[in-house]
Structure 1
Amino acid sequence: MIGIIGAGISGLSLAYHLQKLDIPYILLEASEQAGGYIRTIQDNSTNHRAYVLEQGPNSIMVDSEIQQIIEELGIDEELLPSNDVSQNRYIFKNGKYRKLPAKPSKLLFNRFFSFSSKLAIFKERRRPKQTIENETLSQFFERRFSKEIVDYALNPFVAGIYAGDPEQLLMHKTFAQLHEYEQNYGSVIKGLIKNKSVERRHTSSFKKGMQTLPKAFAQKLDRLKLSLQVTNVQKTTSGYTIHTNDEQTFQVNQLVVATAAPAAQQFLAESFPAFSQALGKIYYPPMVAVHSTYKRDAIKHPLDGFGGLNPKIEGLYTAGSIWTSSIFSGRCPEDEVLFTTFVGGTQSPQHTTNSKQITLGKVHQELSEHYQISASPLYQNLCKWDQAIPQYDLNILDAHRIADELEQEQLFVCANWKDGISLPDCIKKGKKLATKLAEKYSPKVVNE
């Protein structure tokens, strides 16, 4: 039997695909519900107005592989594609939100970047290839493009998607594909052109919110145990013994760690002290998400896009906002708009220490100033993650190295702190690992 600890989206996908392959497993989850950071609130408390609020991921990029899994789960009718305006991205620059060209080719014919940056983009294909160990995102993009592109494109994107700092995140870990383009083709742009036929993906959610996805996975599973916290893992001659907080034990042949690193650090401390110590080095910055709704006629900005991101160099309090009601229908009443605003992350963790009242006030102040809002919010909701997204920086390298080595001892990792943080990454790595485990599966012990 295969023991999986953690029923976030990675663990759920792994268990689901093992079950499809008729491989016995047990999936243990400490909380009362599966899904990890994917949490949807449907709030009807404000004068009977219905809000669909995401505390975690707001959307998922769907390609044919993810689409097939969604159909297998029976939730394809619940899939909610994004509206056309979501292709537009705005960046705060020189006191206002400006539209960033949707395609790299249009950057050369747009006023967003200076002439020198456009020239740098044009010349990128002729720059010599370099191999720099543990190069950061900032170093890579400044070397191949320009400092302005780092400040006004890379920085806000990394803060918004990864809650990260491009001066710390590693290129070969965070943007592995772009890193490979330089190594394989000598240029990022050449790599993009060579691979332009790569299957297109579309931004989607679900009519009742993102939590539809983990719920559907969980409902398909025969051996999911909730509210069962793993306290210790012991190595045995035939595999592993998993100990839980209610003194249950599970004997397994292979062990898969699918929890966040801080949780794994605790239950692996006795049997794998070096791995546990390495896991303790992984940094998860704090992040606050604030949902704010306003009357549509009180806002002058057209909100014709996915959202607005705030470069660190502009010195704003928030990292940016997703224009949730512009992207997806049914997130709030039609005469209102819903913003999801992010505060904190690696670049400004100190902003998450303010009280709820101060944070809500500062968010409203920035929104009203930069989107020309003439009224108070109808509704505000705050969610704080003390440990949000794992950072693929120098501190994560030891954990990745040891995790690879421990596969020889039948211990595997299927979590967002290794091999990608996005929802598609996590779902696909679960499927891939299920196939790998099925190929080598050889039961040696009784199930329990």
Structure 2
Amino acid sequence: MIVIIGAGISGLTLAYHLEKQKKDYVLLELKSNENQAGGYIRSVREQEYLYELGPNSLLCDHEILSFLEELGISNEIVDANIVSKNRYVYKNGAYRKLPSSPISLLFNSFFNWKTKLKIFGESKVKSKTHAQETLTEFFERRFGREVVDYALDPFVSGIYAGNPDELLVQYTFPSLVEMETQYGSILKGLKKNKSTERKRVVSFKNGMQTLPKAIASKIKITYSEKGVQEINKLDNKKWEIVTDEATYQASKVVLTTTAHQSAPFFIKSNPKFGESLQKIAYAPMVAVHTIYYKNDLKMPLNGFGALHPSKEGLFSLGHVWSSSVFSGRCKDNEVLFTTFVGGSRGYEKTRMEDHQIMGKVQKELRELYGIQTLPVTQRIFRWEKAIPQYDKYIAESYEIAESLEKQNLYICASWKGGVSIPDCMKKAKTLAEKL
């Protein structure tokens, strides 16, 4: 029997593929999450308004689209509007459109000429990656400081809510390290590995939670009040999983829970692993949803949204222009901003009271978009531990996890091998085939 712990997108996807293979499995989840399958993927519908509390969209290739069709939710897909291909970054007091191609990079004024020459000459930079090299060190070495400040920094904030000075390139973007090693250049590597497949950015008519709900409807989940209490290795080479309601013996165990949720399972049986998991940091995040009338804005929202480099000192990490990306998020005469506050460099902001955060967000929106009125409505949602940080503290957990795989205990969680929804789904499918 295979025991899967955690019914987030990884656990659900893994269970689905095991179900298809007719494998014997048990998927364990807390009873408090019985109506919230999908972990951090949550959507809330309030009359005409649709709020995403976690991920706002799904980047689909053919494999993911085929899976959605298999689940029977293709008719629920909403494609991102064409304007969402435009991405903006706040620089020197204004929003500037990021160049999206070599031609636009050449003629766009986003980067200065010194930086452009550094980028186009990247193939001449010597390769010298080391195990503890941070994203900042890697990108500054290959592309220069301006790319770090105004491309890497906001990009990392948008994906990891993290600090590029802390995150290690070998864990965060291992493919870039491979390209440097194999081709001696990131640009050469990207060109060699360029896919002809066109990917789609999608959501669903009733939000992102449509996906985990669809998967959950096709599998069996076992709920308990307090969940897993401990995991022990037995003399017969099996694993013992103890919950508050039952004890299971399994030939294989898969952890899909967060590092801090998993750590207590090993306090008795493998304290070194438990302690290493506790060291993995998770960035806190606050999502603020703010709705205004379109006529209240002094600028059009023709894009996916805008990111704020830390160097610019703004309150939030950035705004997703949710109603510009997908239709059906608010009324036609309104706009919906989804603002992200906090991250690994903004712990103190996440400790503020709700009304303080919402007030700060309103002030920022007024100043950036020329708004002079109060919002139609505003909502706030908090994640105390949102996104794992692939920093120096994660290395020990990786090493122990790899040794435990030889004993049939596997990790299929966002803290190992990628944090995005497609990453988690593909890892789960691959592991299901392995099991």
TM-score by length of 2: 0.97
- Aligned-pair distance for 1:232? 1.2
Distance in 2, Cα, partners of 1:416 & 1:123: 35
- In 1, are the aligned partners of 2:29 and 2:221 still within 8 Å (CA)? no
Secondary structure of 2:332's counterpart equals coil
Judged with a 3 Å threshold, the aligned counterparts in structure 2 of structure 1 residues 348 and 222 are, in CA distance, closer, same or farther, namely closer
Q: Residue in 2 aligned with 1:2?
A: 2
- AA aligned opposite 2:26: I
- Aligned-pair distance for 1:212? 0.3
- In 2, are the aligned partners of 1:94 and 1:314 still within 8 Å (CA)? yes
Distance in 2, Cα, partners of 1:239 & 1:86: 50
Q: Residue in 1 aligned with 2:356?
A: 358
Alignment of 1:187-266 (within 5 A): 187-225=185-223, 227=225, 229-236=227-234, 237-246=236-245, 248-266=246-264
Distance in 2, Cα, partners of 1:354 & 1:54: 21
- In 2, are the aligned partners of 1:138 and 1:166 still within 8 Å (CA)? yes
Judged with a 3 Å threshold, the aligned counterparts in structure 2 of structure 1 residues 224 and 430 are, in CA distance, closer, same or farther, namely farther
Alignment of 1:232-381 (within 5 A): 232-236=230-234, 237-246=236-245, 248-381=246-379
Judged with a 3 Å threshold, the aligned counterparts in structure 2 of structure 1 residues 165 and 250 are, in CA distance, closer, same or farther, namely same
- In 2, are the aligned partners of 1:28 and 1:225 still within 8 Å (CA)? yes
**Any idea what the Cα deviations from partners look like across 1:308-361, whole Å, max 9, x if unmatched?**
100000011111000000000000011000000001101222111111111000
The number of aligned residues is: 431
- AA aligned opposite 2:40: Y
- In 1, are the aligned partners of 2:224 and 2:244 still within 8 Å (CA)? no
Q: Residue in 1 aligned with 2:41?
A: 38
- AA aligned opposite 1:3: V
- In 2, are the aligned partners of 1:151 and 1:311 still within 8 Å (CA)? yes
- In 1, are the aligned partners of 2:129 and 2:177 still within 8 Å (CA)? no
Judged with a 3 Å threshold, the aligned counterparts in structure 2 of structure 1 residues 55 and 223 are, in CA distance, closer, same or farther, namely closer
- Aligned-pair distance for 1:97? 0.7
- Aligned-pair distance for 1:197? 3.0
Range 169-178 or range 389-398, more displaced = 169-178
Distance in 1, Cα, partners of 2:196 & 2:175: 12
- In 2, are the aligned partners of 1:164 and 1:391 still within 8 Å (CA)? yes
- Aligned-pair distance for 1:419? 0.6
Q: Residue in 1 aligned with 2:398?
A: 400
User: What percentage of aligned pairs have identical amino acids?
Assistant: 51
Q: Residue in 1 aligned with 2:27?
A: 27
Matching of residue 12 in structure 1 with residue 15 in structure 2? no
- In 2, are the aligned partners of 1:25 and 1:223 still within 8 Å (CA)? no
- In 2, are the aligned partners of 1:265 and 1:280 still within 8 Å (CA)? yes
- AA aligned opposite 1:17: H
Distance in 2, Cα, partners of 1:410 & 1:366: 50
- Aligned-pair distance for 1:227? 4.9
- Aligned-pair distance for 1:131? 2.7
Secondary structure of 1:394's counterpart equals coil
Matching of residue 92 in structure 1 with residue 95 in structure 2? no
Distance in 1, Cα, partners of 2:222 & 2:424: 18
- In 2, are the aligned partners of 1:159 and 1:347 still within 8 Å (CA)? no
Note the aligned Cα RMSD (angstroms). 1.2
- Aligned-pair distance for 1:15? 0.6
Q: Residue in 2 aligned with 1:122?
A: 120
- AA aligned opposite 2:388: P
Distance in 2, Cα, partners of 1:165 & 1:238: 41
- AA aligned opposite 2:5: I
- Aligned-pair distance for 1:234? 1.9
- AA aligned opposite 2:38: G
- In 1, are the aligned partners of 2:229 and 2:243 still within 8 Å (CA)? yes
- Aligned-pair distance for 1:238? 4.0
Q: Residue in 2 aligned with 1:78?
A: 76
Judged with a 3 Å threshold, the aligned counterparts in structure 2 of structure 1 residues 317 and 129 are, in CA distance, closer, same or farther, namely same
**Any idea what the Cα deviations from partners look like across 1:54-99, whole Å, max 9, x if unmatched?**
0000011000110111111111111111000110000001111111
Secondary structure of 2:217's counterpart equals helix
- Aligned-pair distance for 1:225? 3.5
- Aligned-pair distance for 1:223? 4.5
- AA aligned opposite 2:432: A
TM-score by length of 1: 0.94
Judged with a 3 Å threshold, the aligned counterparts in structure 2 of structure 1 residues 189 and 423 are, in CA distance, closer, same or farther, namely same
- Aligned-pair distance for 1:129? 1.9
Gapped regions of structure 1 (runs ≥ 5): 45-49, 438-448
- Aligned-pair distance for 1:122? 1.3
- In 1, are the aligned partners of 2:136 and 2:165 still within 8 Å (CA)? yes
Gapped regions of structure 2 (runs ≥ 5): none
- Aligned-pair distance for 1:220? 0.5
- AA aligned opposite 1:239: K
- Aligned-pair distance for 1:222? 3.0
Secondary structure of 1:222's counterpart equals coil
**Any idea what the Cα deviations from partners look like across 1:164-183, whole Å, max 9, x if unmatched?**
01111111111111221111
